[in-house]
A and B are shown apart, each in its own frame.
Chain A
Amino acid sequence: MNFISNEMHKGKLFFFFSLMMVLLASCGGSKTSSLLQDGDTLALSDARNLLLVHYKGYTLAQLRNPWDTLKVLHTYILVPRTDSLPANLPEGTVVRTPISHAVIYSSVHCSLLQELGAVKHISGICDLKYMRLPAIRERCSSGQIADMGDAMNPNIEKLIDLHPDAILLSPFENSGGYGRVEKLNIPLIECADYMENSALGRAEWMKFYGLLFGCEAQSDSLFTKVQTSYLALLAEVKKEKQKPLLLVDLPLSSTWYQPGGHSTMGHLYADAGARTLMQETTQSGSIPLAFETVFDKGQNAEIWLIRYNEPVNKTLQSLSRERPAFAQFRAFQQKKVYACNTSTSSFYEETPFHPDWLLEDLIKIIHPNVLSSLKLRYYSIVQEK
């Protein structure tokens, strides 16, 4: 309870700060005088780093810097394409909406746009080899979508040639900017959704993307659907007294990462009614641990969840051949090992904006008696051979 009120408090504080900033900015001149008039803040239930305010003639979208929460990462002024540019616009990157030709760096956002019915607005992507969505691949091979090459170093000449309305990319901390892409005079939409701490918070960013691509109604209703089903699942699992211990992932040479107590995955596992090895910690990322630590804490874990990206599916046999010590874990002996091969499943594409689907999978594994259907979407039980 205390935590929640604290979070609410933070939310209020953030709102207050943004208000102050807007006020201060408005002191600069008369051009922003209309800012406070008839501004209609869109109420966001879960996203912490996003502020959306509708004004007459435009919408302001302010992205809080997730690495320094007192700062603003980027301010966007969304002006409908059909309207003329209002005279008193506040400072920020002007984006004419709806965007009709966008270059999108990550498959996550492509997947979202596909679900929102805006796939026709994608005119370029990066890292074609990671794109598993059939619709995108088809459009790529038919030439409707161009491949810009590596997301970290896109082909600048192709980008100039394509001249999109906007580029959607993922910001990284202290990455030193986006290089020459910044100088093309094309609005860069910094998709900082992945830095949200809660799964629903990240998913709520779809409202922002919906505004950008002119599918506000679809994104609102999709988020409501996701949120409702997530909360319903949460309520179901709340009734369960038993909280099985969960062992997560595979060691990388000597290091075995486990989710920290305040990490997004840590929260998600907790929401699914499980305990994790490091849930008492306050870290918001993964914690590197020695094999023996994980063995000591997790030998009696009831369930083991693995994610990997390999052409061949893992089996219990291949796991124990890889490291004979795996066979000493209780979850292994009781054949309660579940794996998601991300090379064949759409885990990374879908779960960021569909945390309800992932939660459902997790609950089916962790509390099989709660949900009637047992068909899993991403994970599957690891076969013996």
Chain B
Amino acid sequence: MKNNPWRYGILLTLLIFILWVFNLFVGSVKIPPLEVCNLLLGGQPERTSWAFILWESRFPQSVAALCCGMALAASGLMLQTAFNNPLAGPSILGINTGASLGVALVMLLGGGTLGAGVFSLTGFFSVVLAAFLGAAVVMGLILLLSTFIKSSLMLLIVGIMIGYVASSAIALLNFWATAEGVHSYLIWGMGNFGGVSLAQLPLFVGITFLGLLVSLLLIKPLNALLLGPRYAENLGINIRKVRNLLLLATGLLVAITTAFCGPIAFIGLAVPHLARLMLGTSNHNSLLPITILMGAVIALLCNLICVLPGEAGLIPLNAVTPLIGAPVIIYVIVNQRKIQYFN
């Protein structure tokens, strides 16, 4: 085999490690590298704020970026296979938009508060919960509809329609909202990996890995789906069950990432293509793990680019991800005939 997936796997793992270390060393605040080493080895910092920045900000942010990248890339690949559509991605089924709608309801209508009687949440938690609920509702709706709708293409269209309905609700909420509300919603919509605090990190990593585990267990039916639903059924695959499991896994992954980090564009759509171009195969045995690793690499890279202006400011995440994502998509479209996995 020319393109040895193991070699790529090791290479990407190495790259992840290097980029992750870079993410710890480079940030908006200049901390001398020696100080970072000292801190990582458990030493006493020269300035107490540095220890806090490293452990409470950079460390959770880099791990969140890593997990988000893996989660979004994996869900992107699963959706592309499940719907047999190279341009499917986490945002296409409306799951993302559902999460956005949840957040819009809290930020624009509820004045940042999610409350019912004595139970009331404010600020960041309400946003996370609302995003999760929004994504879960849309996912549930799609799962429900998938029991009536057999064709994957039709289901995809229904998903897109649900997304549009949610978008129109968001547009209305924006129209009625205060300037402050619109601004904070806009900023949330630009995505960021810094939304996960150290205390929330175990939960975040746990759910992400659960979703990834489910996706890895689905490799075999995913490969069967590549042959088309008829062949897959012939191979003894329960199409509906697999599709529902796929939706559940992707829904979980997208919901958790969008809840904490906002709707992150393009990673889910572009990374599977990058991995396919690299491997030259659509066999999920190697494609899924490589996609997951690649997602982590791209997310860490994007996170690094965001802090490039240093103390002068920030670049929003969703301004960075399309810079990497869009050229890949264009390349795929232009070379559709030449690329082996389309044929």
Q: What residues make up the interface of A, taking CB atoms closer than 8 Å to B?
A: 130, 150, 252-255, 287-293, 295-297, 299, 308-312, 314, 318, 321-325, 328, 342-343
Q: Verify B125–A291 contact, CB threshold 8 A.
A: no
CB of B113 closer than 8 Å to a CB of A: yes
In contact, A290 and B28 (Cβ under 8 angstroms): yes
Given known contacts A253-B187, A254-B194, A318-B122, A295 and B53 CB-to-CB distance under 8 angstroms: yes
Q: Complex: how many Å from CA A296 to CA B30?
A: 10
Q: How many angstroms from the CA of A296 to the CA of B314 in the assembled complex? A: 15
Q: How far is the CA of A66 from the CA of B314 in the complex (A)?
A: 27
5 more A-B residue pairs beyond the given contacts A253-B187, A310-B111, A325-B56, with a C-beta to C-beta distance below 8 A: A253-B190, A254-B193, A255-B187, A296-B53, A312-B120
A93 to chain B, nearest CB (A): 28
- Chain A residues near B312: list those with CB within 8 A: 287
> B111, B311, B313: which contacts A309 (Cβ < 8 A)?
B111
Give Cα A281 to B215, complex, Å: 49
B197 within 8 A of A: yes
B192 within 8 A of A: yes
In chain A, what residue has the closest Cβ to B121?
A321
> Across the interface, do A322 and B123 meet the contact criterion of CB distance under 8 Å?
yes
Could you tell me if A296 and B49 are in contact, using CB atoms closer than 8 angstroms?
Answer: yes
Name the one of A130, A254, A342 contacting B195, with C-beta atoms under 8 angstroms: A254
**Contacts A252-B183, A290-B307, A325-B56: A311 and B197 contacting too (C-beta < 8 A)?**
no
A318 vs B53: C-alpha distance when bound (angstroms): 22
**Pick the contact of A255 from B50, B180, B314 — CB < 8 Å?**
B314
In the complex, what's the smallest C-beta–C-beta distance from B140 to chain A, in angstroms? 26
Q: Which residue of chain A lies nearest to B56 when distances are taken between CB atoms in the complex? A: A325
Roughly how many angstroms separate A295 CA and B50 CA in the complex, as a whole number?
9
Asked if A343 meets B111 with Cβ closer than 8 Å, knowing A255-B187, A293-B28, the reply is yes
Q: A310-B112, A324-B197 are in contact. Are A292 and B58 (CB under 8 A)?
A: yes
Instruction: State whether A322 touches B122 (Cβ < 8 A).
Output: yes
Interchain CA distance A252-B188 in the complex, whole Å:
7
For residue B89, which residues in chain A have a CB less than 8 angstroms away from its CB? none
A150 touches B175 (CB 8 A): yes
CA distance A253 to B188 in the complex (A): 6
A287 touches B27 (CB 8 A): no
Q: Which of A292, A308, A322 contacts B28 (CB 8 A)?
A: A292
10 contacts between A and B (CB under 8 A): A130-B178, A254-B317, A255-B316, A290-B194, A293-B29, A295-B57, A299-B49, A309-B180, A321-B125, A322-B122
Provide the residues of chain A in CB contact with B307, threshold 8 Å.
290
CB distance B199 to A324 under 8 Å? yes
From B110, which residue of chain A is reached at the shortest CB distance? A311
Per the bound structure, the CA–CA distance linking A297 and B194 in Å amounts to 18
Interface centre among B113, B122, B195 (most CB of A within 10 A): B122
A236 to chain B minimum Cβ distance, whole angstroms, is 32
Instruction: For A318, give the chain B residue with the smallest CB separation.
Output: B122
Residue of B nearest to A298 (CB): B49
Residue of B52, B58, B122, B192 near A253 (CB, 8 A) is: B192
From residue B83, how far is it (CB to closest CB) to chain A in Å?
31
Chain B residues whose CB sits within 8 angstroms of the CB of A314 once the complex forms = 122
**Counting CB contacts under 8 A, is B251 at the interface?**
no
- For B314, list chain A residues within 8 Å (CB): 254-255, 288-290
> Using Cβ atoms and an 8 Å threshold, which residues of chain A touch B94?
none
